[in-house]
Structure 1
Amino acid sequence: MNFRQLHRGPQLLKIANVWDAGSAVLVQALGAPALATTSAGLAWALGYADGNHMPIEEHAAAVRRIARVARVPVSVDSEAGYSDDPATAAGHVMRLVEAGAAGINLEDGAGPAALLCRKVEAIKAAAARAGVDVFVNARCDVWLKRLAPGREVEETLARARDYAAAGADGLFAAGATVEADIAALVAGQPLPLNVMARPAMPGLEALQRLGVRRLSAGSAIAEAAWGRARRAAEGFLAEGACEALFEGAAPYPEINNALGAASQLAMGLHTTS
């Protein structure tokens, strides 16, 4: 099943966002039908802050490494396309597509909706010229950026309709958590709705009932990994605590074997392709 079809299936698509080839192998082994990157986790792994700071060359190289081990579709968070110029942003997104992305997230941030529309149009035109199908998930940051206090639903719906007219394939209402708001977003615009994990998010059964098509972990798994690694390192550096380092850890052979098998399979596919 391709990435677009996964948004039409009977089950809500759950995305446990990854940030490198190793995390991609781990999540894929758990049976995930698709992979998607977290821009934050990927930027942090490369030594950059999140927020459109990654050089496109490094981002594309990281996506290529993830795609090398992927056996399911990969969607890539392209942030805002790393440019305010639609043609340049489209060129950057196509670099990620060439590296192996089947879909992309593209955010409006605090910028005008019209700018994201022009970027979506430019990306769709570039994809058509290249003869590839790219699922464009338009991320609306009205909640995250607090752009319309008390009017979040109305503002997001207005933007969603514009994004759909520009050619977007999905709407990512990052930060929406209230059931009534989510129901209004599903009913009030034509795109499959993606929401992001938050402590206050309704449960999976409720989201399915409301008509949500995609639930993303966002940067939460990468944040959890950072927090646990920090606690382990703090204990070791402060007290030389060795036993605590191994609490909850995956055994070395398990990790190494999983990566070894993924590498061998990738090499075999490359040799026969």
Structure 2
Amino acid sequence: MTSAMTDQATKAAVFRALHERPEPLLLPNPWDAGTARLLAGLGFEALATTSLGVANMLGRTRASRQEILDNCRVLSEATALPVNADLENGFADDPAEAATMVELAFASGAVGASLEDFTGDRRAPIYDFGLAVDRVRAAVEVARGLPVPLVLTARAENLLYGIDDLGDTIRRLQAFEEAGADVLYAPGLRTLAEMRTVVGSVGKPVNVVMGFADPSITLEQLGEVGVRRVSIGGALSRLALKSFMDGAREMRAGRFGFVTDLLPISELHQAFR
């Protein structure tokens, strides 16, 4: 085994173990090497890519398959932390073709990957149940066949796309678990009651994204209802862009008060040294 592969194996073991401890894993979503290093410097234990953050960085609303993979490599090389790759729907409908993205993410340095059941077509946003399960099963087969088994997260996207059906969402998560997914994820859960219901319906670790949830919920409360992983999606990217736009609008209006809120250059130098 090469030194690079040994390093990836170590990251994979660490990432898997972080899902098995009592307290939830906080999994923030950087979008470039700089934000990855800042998060590592704050003591986060693992990172996740964000396809929205990548698209925003590129000045678009969507990022391409290759751009997602390139970003995965950038983040994997930026720090020593494990990285989970947001692969959207695998950029393919066919199970085997979508599953190839898992292998490519691994080749780009990731030790975890997320695959969703959103079709990419908002007129018919969610894959039929059987196809969705087949896609997860194919991704699991690829993940387990890698030189270092990758932690596969299966996502049920109903709640994000106007299908307010928690029952069907849970049915999908249960089927994804049976198909071999390591982590289960239903973005759009808002309340602790919903989260508790989902956690109690499955046996694998559940990821909750706080970008869509009640912001008054604390990490302690998430742990109490059994959530094992907490991400933020594109929220940090959107927060950074809001700060940028607020400052730019103030500058456009001929005022410069925003310079009093700048991060000190010395702190950036310390983080990037």
Find 1:139's aligned residue among 141, 155, 177: 155
- DSSP 3-state at the match of 2:208: strand
Equivalent position amino acid for 1:55 in 2: S
Equivalent residues in 2 for 1:148-163 (5 A)?
Answer: 149=164, 151-152=165-166, 154-163=167-176
Equivalent residues in 2 for 1:43-82 (5 A)?
Answer: 43-50=55-62, 54-82=63-91
Unaligned residue ranges in structure 2 (runs of 5+): 1-12, 119-125
Q: Is the 8 A contact 2:155 2:173 kept in 1?
A: no
Matched, 1:117 2:133: yes
Find 2:102's aligned residue among 72, 93, 96: 93
Matched, 1:172 2:185: yes
What displacement does 1:158 show? Answer: 0.7
What displacement does 1:194 show? Answer: 1.0
Seen in structure 2, the aligned counterparts of structure 1 residues 235 and 91 have a Cα distance that, compared at 3 Å, is: same
**How far apart, in 2, do the equivalents of 1:62 and 1:206 lie?**
32
Aligned residue in 2 for 1:8: 20
Equivalent position amino acid for 1:113 in 2: F
Find 2:206's aligned residue among 170, 189, 193: 193
- DSSP 3-state at the match of 1:62: helix
Equivalent position amino acid for 2:21 in 1: G
What displacement does 1:39 show? Answer: 1.5
So what's the TM-score if we normalise by structure 2? 0.86
Aligned residue in 2 for 1:226: 241
After TM superposition, the runs of 4+ consecutive aligned structure 1 residues lying more than 4 A away are none
What displacement does 1:38 show? Answer: 1.6
**How far apart, in 1, do the equivalents of 2:173 and 2:145 lie?**
25
**How far apart, in 2, do the equivalents of 1:204 and 1:257 lie?**
28
Aligned residue in 2 for 1:204: 219
User: For each residue in 1:40-99, what CA deviation from the matched residue of structure 2 results, as whole angstroms up to 9, or x when unmatched?
Assistant: 11121123314xxx2222221121111111211111111111111222212223212111
Unaligned residue ranges in structure 1 (runs of 5+): 262-273
- DSSP 3-state at the match of 1:3: helix
**How far apart, in 2, do the equivalents of 1:71 and 1:28 lie?**
8
User: For each residue in 1:200-232, what CA deviation from the matched residue of structure 2 results, as whole angstroms up to 9, or x when unmatched?
Assistant: 253222211111111111111111101010011
**How far apart, in 1, do the equivalents of 2:50 and 2:83 lie?**
11
Aligned residue in 1 for 2:29: 17
- DSSP 3-state at the match of 1:18: coil
**How far apart, in 2, do the equivalents of 1:219 and 1:62 lie?**
14
**How far apart, in 1, do the equivalents of 2:60 and 2:186 lie?**
25
So what's the TM-score if we normalise by structure 1? 0.86
**How far apart, in 1, do the equivalents of 2:59 and 2:132 lie?**
27
Matched, 1:107 2:116: yes
Instruction: Give the CA RMSD over aligned residues.
Output: 1.8
Equivalent position amino acid for 2:220 in 1: E
Name the stretch that deviates more: 127-136 or 202-211.
Answer: 127-136
What displacement does 1:132 show? Answer: 2.3
Name the stretch that deviates more: 244-253 or 73-82.
Answer: 244-253
